[in-house]
Structure 1
Amino acid sequence: MKPLAELTNEELLQEAKKMKSTNIYDAAIFGFLIGISVYSAVKKGFGLLSFLPLIYIPIAAKNRVKHKELEQLLKERNLK
């Protein structure tokens, strides 16, 4: 995939649409993992599943950084 700075205006706008759904998916997945973690901690005490959300944090952080970069480019190009 090309870096965001090399994308055309149309491609940037399409990427912004994708990023909106990515944020929703990140929140849903993280919420689901938190639910599994809490359920596991209540039923069996702390174990491997209790720390499951920690595995997803780097992925969500990478998506958040990409989103901020995309927002910055959209603002620079007066597309938003």
Structure 2
Amino acid sequence: MSEQFSNITDEDLLKEKGKIQYNKTVNATLIGFCVGIFIFSAVNNGFGFFTFFPLLLTYPFIKNGQKIKALSLELARRKLYNLHTVLRESGNLQIEKCILIFH
């Protein structure tokens, strides 16, 4: 995924960075909505195809989250974005602690 962003100019990457926070919020909201529908359907109707259908809809949102992470790492690689922030947002605390120790 990162090779997709390696050919883009710095200016275009910074424009994409502006969309990151909005995309994260929308993804989290839609994933939560789909999981909520799954739970509601499972409690009321039991398990069936339409119970699991909302979970199938979450796959594109999860893939979009991976794209956002790849964009953040490319920004950090080009030193256009703070690496500490990227690691904190990705939830990779072990690497973050190692960088803080050696930094």
Would the TM-score normalized by the shorter structure come out above 0.5?
yes
Partner SS state of residue 32, structure 1: helix
Contact 2:35–2:55, Cα closer than 8 Å, also in 1 = no
Aligned to 2:61: 60
**Residues 2-37 of structure 1: per-residue CA shift (max 9 Å, x gap):** x32122112101111212211111111111111111
Partner SS state of residue 7, structure 1: coil
For residue 29 of structure 1, what is the amino acid of its counterpart? L
Percent identity, please.
36
Between 64-73 and 30-39, the greater mean CA deviation after superposition:
64-73
Distance 2:42 2:74 in 1: 42
Aligned to 1:73: 74
Report the number of matched residues. Answer: 78
Distance 2:21 2:49 in 1: 31
The Cα of 1:69 is off from its aligned counterpart by 1.5
Counterpart check, 1:26 vs 2:20: no
Contact 1:36–1:49, Cα closer than 8 Å, also in 2 = no
Distance 1:36 1:58 in 2: 15
The Cα of 1:70 is off from its aligned counterpart by 0.8
Alignment RMSD (CA, Å): 1.6
The Cα of 1:46 is off from its aligned counterpart by 1.3
Distance 2:44 2:12 in 1: 47
Large movers: runs of 4+ above 4 Å? none
Distance 1:39 1:57 in 2: 16
Runs of 5+ unmatched residues, structure 1: none
Runs of 5+ unmatched residues, structure 2: 82-103
